[in-house]
Amino acid sequence: MTKTCFHNATFYTMENPSDSVGAVLVEGGKIINLGNFADLKEQADVLIDLLGAFVYPGFVDSHLHMIGHGDKLRHIDLSTYLSAEAMTADLQKLLMHHPHGEWFVAEGWNENNFSDKKILSRYDLDKLSRSPIVLKRVCRHAMIVNSATLELAGITKNTPDPIDGVISRDEQGIPTGHLLDGAMSLVEKNIPEVSISQLVTSLDTAVNDLVSLGFTGGHTEDMSYYGDYSRPLQAFKEVFGNSRKFRVNLLRHHLVFDEMMKEATYEEPWIEPGAMKIFIDGALGGRTALLSKPYTDDPSTSGVAIHSQTDLEKLVAKARTYGEAVAVHAIGDLGMEMIVAAIEKYPVPAGKRDRLIHANVLRADLVDRIEKLEVVLDLQPSFVTSDFPWVEERLGSDRLKWAYAWKKLIDRDIKCSGGSDSPIEEVDPRRGLYAAVTRKNPGDQHEGYLPEEKLSRYEAISLYTIGSAQAICKEHERGLIAVDFDADFTVFDRDLFTGSDEQLLEAQVVKTIIAGDIVFEK
């Protein structure tokens, strides 16, 4: 096999904040030696000059939805709108050319970006088209639909709220078209299936974008949204493999977990089976994240529990019968309390690690319990910049001490990984790093939201490298630049450890290297 020496760069090993070497020797997709160029060049068959760049272990997004990310790049992105009027104006232009009778689905709207906080109703959407319209909120825990969609879904004044969701209604009890969490499934089961070729196109679009941003892999959850799990799985197999290197870890939704455990095959190391994915609550934006006390700005609700404690424990127990871990969406502190209790009752098997996703709102007593578990907290740094300042109204000052408390968690030596939750947030890791380090949006003139929770540059980069490897128990082969580790590198044109915070945003990816092969070059 060919031995390749990458050199003329600063390779940050990430073993410690300042550890670096000047050259790396790669063979068969693995790092076989590292050190000085003078010592390694005689062992190499091929020399690749990195022209003074700065190299890090391959960045991995620990939580995203890759098909959704590709869809977002290909279709209209509602998250960019700052008013309901501008959004509906563009939708009206787009729907003028939409085939009559066909479903129109888009996502990303966020009323918190609108000055009047307006949530559109069925009647607003009825003015745009008589064809079924579905607009998903940025968090994917709420949607607004028009009258045609409600009719096709069979949702009327007499339709009861599902146990895990809410059908918003007006004073006469008539559905407004605003559906929360489990109520969305009444609509979603009627949306026609997307073709496999469209899934392939979205995945292809997604991976082109991800490698251009320096990502060498991603942990993605797509297996229960596109019909039978075999359809998205087939799309992944068509896109990824030896001819298209990118490391994908597939979280498996609890609804398809049994089938996938018994029937599904994978193509490791490019497509790897992941943990059982469970949703325990919703999101703070729609007040469906499950809190132990009512929302400060709406005391009538404490959120939505997707599962009862009994049903949640049954799901965790099922994962354990297969010797598997769970990856659980838990944003509110009561949701987190429920899953912590379930994991305490059914501990993770040896060699596995559970994943608690988001962990936005915690409590000191919960952190004490989490500390004793074999878990990774799967964090999204950009949630800070997208949720503040409005989230302070939702939670009130008393709950902020353990809200988005990344620094306190890391100081407690709790393992943490970093992702984007794209398409819900921007996938660009530079934005995530900047959010983790500054706790503010670019251009903001303040010290950051809850500034005591700012991470160091090393801690922030570790989320996407060491942390993402720990999330899937691969920290002995990924996440560091070390001998016998995968030769996955993210190569920037500048040093992420020095300079102003804005330099994190200005840094350019010049190469992305996976298993020793250059898969992107600027």
pLDDT tens-place string over residues 43-74 = 999 999 999 999 999 999 999 999 999 988 98
Residue range 381-399: mean pLDDT, rounded: 96
Residue % of the chain over a pLDDT of 90? 91
341 Cβ partners below 8 Å, 6+ apart? 309, 313
Closest CA to 406 of 395, 417, 390, 398: 417
The CATH number that domain 3-58+488-495+498-521 falls under is 2.30.40.10
The answer to whether residue 193 scores a pLDDT higher than 90 is: no
Structure tokens at 464: 């996407």
Higher pLDDT among residues 98 and 499, named by residue: 499
Average pLDDT over every residue of 438-453: 96
Question: Is a pLDDT exceeding 80 seen at residue 394?
Answer: yes
Average pLDDT over residues 317-330: 98
8 A C-beta contact, residue 220 and residue 188: no
pTM: 0.88
d(CA 157, CA 175): 6
* 416 has pLDDT over 80: yes
Q: What are the distances in angstroms from CA 402 to CA 29, 393, 486, 494?
A: 42, 15, 36, 34
223-227, 477-481, 487-491 — which is least confidently predicted?
A: 223-227
In this structure, is the dihedral angle defined by the CA atoms of residues 164, 170, 174 and 175, taken in order, positive or negative? negative
H or E element that contains 338: helix 333-345
pLDDT at 75: 84
Architecture of domain 67-188: Roll (3.10)
Q: Which residue spans of the chain are classified as CATH 2.30.40.10?
A: 3-58+488-495+498-521
Q: Fill in the amino acid letter for 139.
A: C
Residue 84 has pLDDT above 90, yes or no: yes
508 vs 362: CA distance, rounded Å: 35
In the chain, CATH 3.10.310.70 covers 67-188
> Does residue 331 contact residue 306 with C-beta atoms inside 8 Å?
no
For residue 287, the number of C-alpha atoms closer than 13 Å in the C-beta half-sphere is 19
Tokens representing 83 are 């008013």
Q: What is the pLDDT of residue 242?
A: 62
Give residue 315's identity as a one-letter amino acid code. Answer: L
> What is the distance between the alpha carbons of residues 492 and 268, in angstroms, rounded to a whole number?
28
Q: How far apart are CA 166 and CA 104, in angstroms?
A: 22
Tell me how far apart the 2 most distant CA atoms of the chain are, in Å.
Answer: 81
d(CA 436, CA 459): 9
pLDDT value at residue 74: 84
pLDDT value for 239 = 94
Bridge partners of 355? 327, 376
Tell me what pLDDT residue 194 has.
85
pLDDT (tens digit per residue) in 10-26: 999 999 998 999 999 99
127-169 pLDDT per residue, tens: 999 999 999 999 989 999 999 999 999 999 999 999 999 999 9
Q: Tell me which of 128-132, 241-245, 370-374, 499-503 is least confident.
A: 241-245
| Residue 354 identity | D
Q: How far apart are CA 80 and CA 233, in angstroms?
A: 30
Provide the pairing of β-strand 215-220 with 59-64: parallel
